[in-house]
Amino acid sequence: MIGSTIGKYEIVSKIGQGAMGEVYKAHDSLLNRYVAIKTIASEMGGDDTLRKRFEREAQSAARLNHANIITIYEFGESQGKLYMAMELLEGRDLKKLIANHQPTSLDDRLSLMVQICEGLAFAHAHEVVHRDLKPANIHVLASGQVKIVDFGLARLTGSEMTRTGMVIGTPHYMSPEQVRGERADTRSDVFSIGCVFYELLTFHKAFDAPSMHSVLFKVMQEEPAPIQQLAPDVPLPLAQIVRAALAKDPASRIQNGAELLAALQQATQVIGSGRAHEPLPNLPPPSVPARPAGSDSSRMGSVVRSRPGDSQRRAAVAPAHRGAGPAAWVVGGIALLVLVGLAGVVVWRVVPGASPPPSTRPAQVDTLARAVLETQVELARKKLVGGDYAEAARDAEKALRLDPSSAEARRILDQAQSVIAESTKAAERLKAAVAKGDDAASAEAFWGLVQVAPNDPLAAEMTSHFEGRMKDQAREAQRLMGDARAAALSSGADKGDRFLDGDARRREADDDFKAGRFASAARRYVDARNRFRLVGKS
C-alpha cells in the first residue's frame, strides 16, 4: 500500500487500524500538505445502503468547520474503496493522556473540558450527533488545542450496520438509551462526555467492571462513585455538572453541548472567584463524601489560562453566554435555559412558584481581579492586531467571563468573530475552486482570502501555489499599504510597536516582491497595511 495512491493522495505510511478500516498518512501534491486518509472496510463499502449512509455522514462531518473539530477535506471512492481525507493531527489522544495521569492541573483539565464542549455545541447546533464520544476520539495537540475526531461516522458502526461479532459502540461511554438500542441524540453525546469528564477529573472510569456485560449493567442501573470521593480536590461545581450529565433519564440530563458549555462557563467563573467549594445554585447537588479536615479545593480554583490554537476560522459557538454573564439552567424542573438558535438570545422560562433566575450582573472585582482582566484584554488586543483572530476571540471570551461588562473585550470579540466569519466564507470559496481545478477562480479566491485574513492558515498553505501569479495583486496591496503608512505618519501618533511591526512586514514584502514571490509579498503588504491602519487606535 505504501507508495500507492488513493484518489489524488500518495500513501506515505500506515497510522492505524480501526473498526471501520485503515488510516494512512498521505501527501496531497496539489496543495503540498500531508493528510490523514481513513479508508472504509471492503465489506462495508460493498453494501449500497452503507455507501449511501457513508456519503450522508461524511457530508455532515465535512460541514463542521470549527477549531475543536477535525477538518474533513474530501471524501470519495478510489479503486472501489471508500475513503475520507482529513486534517493530519500531531499530539496525543485523551485516552493516552489519562492513562499517564495527565494533565495534572485543574486549569489544564478545565481548558480541555471547555474546548470539548465548544466543539460539541457547534456540532449539535448543526444537527450532527457524534454517537461514540470517548477519550480515544478526542485529540489534544501539543499546543493544548482539542480536536474531536470521527464526527458523524459512528453511526456507520451503529446497530443497523453491525458486522458479525462487532461490539456496538464503546461500553464504558455508552448512554443508557444506547444500551437499550434506542436512537442516540444530543443527550446521548452529553452522557458520553460526562463519562469522559469523570475520567479526566478522577483518572477512573465512571462505569468499570471485568466484563462488558457488567459494564453495561452499571451504565443502566448504578451510579458512579462520587467524584470527590476519588478526587477530593475537584471543585464542587464540576462534580455537579458531571453528575447532571450522567443522569440516567435523558429528560433529566443536560440536553446538548450548548447547555453543557454554558454550565461549564458558569463553573469557571465561580471557581475563578475563589468559590470552588460552593455548589452552583441551579444544579442538583452531587453526592459528596465528607471532606477531609484541612482540605481546600479552592486552591485549585485559579483563573483558567489561555489555551493556544492555530485555526483562524473558528466559528462562533453559542454566543448566548457572551452578553448575559454566566448562563444557568435546572435539570428536572425549576427553570430551563433555552439557547435560541445560537443567535445570542438567552430566554428563561420560569415554572410557577420557582425562584427567579440568578442575577447575571457582574460581581464587583477586586484590584487583583481587575489586573487579571486588563491583562487578558491586552492579550486579546495583541492577538487581534497580529491577525490571530481565533486566539483574539478566545482571549476576549476569557476576559468577558471575568467581567461580562467589559466594553473593550466585547469590541475585540465582535471584531475577531466578524473577520473569522468572513475568512471562513473566503476559505470555502478557495477550497471549492481548487477542488474544481479552476486555476483562475482559485487565484481570485486566494486573493479574496488574503484581503480578509492574510495570516489565515489556508492562505499560508496555498501561498507557494500562487507565487508567480499574483504580481498585479501584490502591486495593489503595496499601494494600499503605502496609503495606510502615509496616513499613520501624518496622524502624529507615536511610531509604536504597531508601526514598527508594519514597517518590518513592509520590508519583508519588498524583498519578496523583488524575488518574484508575489503571493508572499501580497500577504505581507496586506498584513502591514492592517497594522498601519491601527496606529494611534486603542
Distance CA 388, CA 380 (A): 9
SS3 132: coil
Distance CA 135, CA 90 (A): 16
Q: Which amino acid is at 236?
A: L
Q: Where are the beta strands (DSSP E) in 235-320?
A: none
Annotation says 132 is catalytic: yes
Q: What are phi and psi of 358, to 5 degrees?
A: -65, 150
Distance CA 184, CA 193 (A): 13
DSSP label of 352? T
List beta partners, residue 22.
Answer: 17
Catalytic position from the list 28, 93, 107, 132: 132
List beta partners, residue 263.
Answer: none
Nearest residue to 269 (alpha-carbon basis) of 338, 360, 375:
360
Half-sphere exposure of 391 toward its Cβ, with a 13 Å CA cutoff? 23
SS3 340: strand
Q: Extract the C-alpha cell encoding 422.
A: 468572513
Q: Which amino acid is at 307?
A: R
- Contact predicate 190/253, CB 8 Å: yes
Grid cell 503595496 — which residue? 478
- Residues annotated as catalytic (active site), given as ranges: 132
